[in-house]
Amino acid sequence: MAKLQNPNRAKIHRNYTVEEIAMLYAVHKNTVRLWIKDGLPTIDRKRPILIAGADLRRYWQSKRTCRKRKCQLFEMYCVRCKVTQRPAENMADYEPLNSDTGRLIGLCPDCGGIINKFVRFNRLDEIRGYLDITQTKALKHISDSNNPLVNSDFNQ
């Protein structure tokens, strides 16, 4: 699978040769030739092969958008596996970030890594129909903790 490139590296008012694109994206010249076979438009078929910067940018923007997939309400994205899926055993923790948004944290059922999803607090009831959500409550101050640090003077 090809690594997605940043489309903004290409300047839209400039024409590039295969070698210049290879240097711009730090890939081999043959990789750029594969992109041309894959659909990267060229100005003409004469040598040297020239690619318009606007076409190069459009090519990478279309590559990015065709791979995007919106998560369902009950799904989270695993960066390691590069797929959206339900957390393991349909369990997730909700960690509030502010008064109206928070983060769902779960485990990937395939690789065991942590998967996240940012959600609004008012959507939690909808998600609870699909997932078992444990709501964690942040402590206001460290002195409110049942297990303060060993070197603390809170008990004095």
Do 23 and 47 reside in the same domain of the chain? yes
User: How confident is the model over 104-115, as a mean pLDDT?
Assistant: 90
Does the pTM surpass 0.85? The reply is no
Number of independent structural domains in the chain: 2
Do 60 and 82 reside in the same domain of the chain? no
Q: Is 65 helix (H, G, I), strand (E, B) or coil?
A: helix
The domain in which residue 105 lies consists of 76-143
pLDDT band at 155 (very low <50, low <70, confident <90, very high): low
CATH value at residue 36: 1.10.10.10
Specify if 156 maps to a domain: no
Specify if 149 maps to a domain: no
Do 130 and 84 reside in the same domain of the chain? yes
40's CB contacts (< 8 A; 6+ apart) are 32, 51, 55, 56, 59
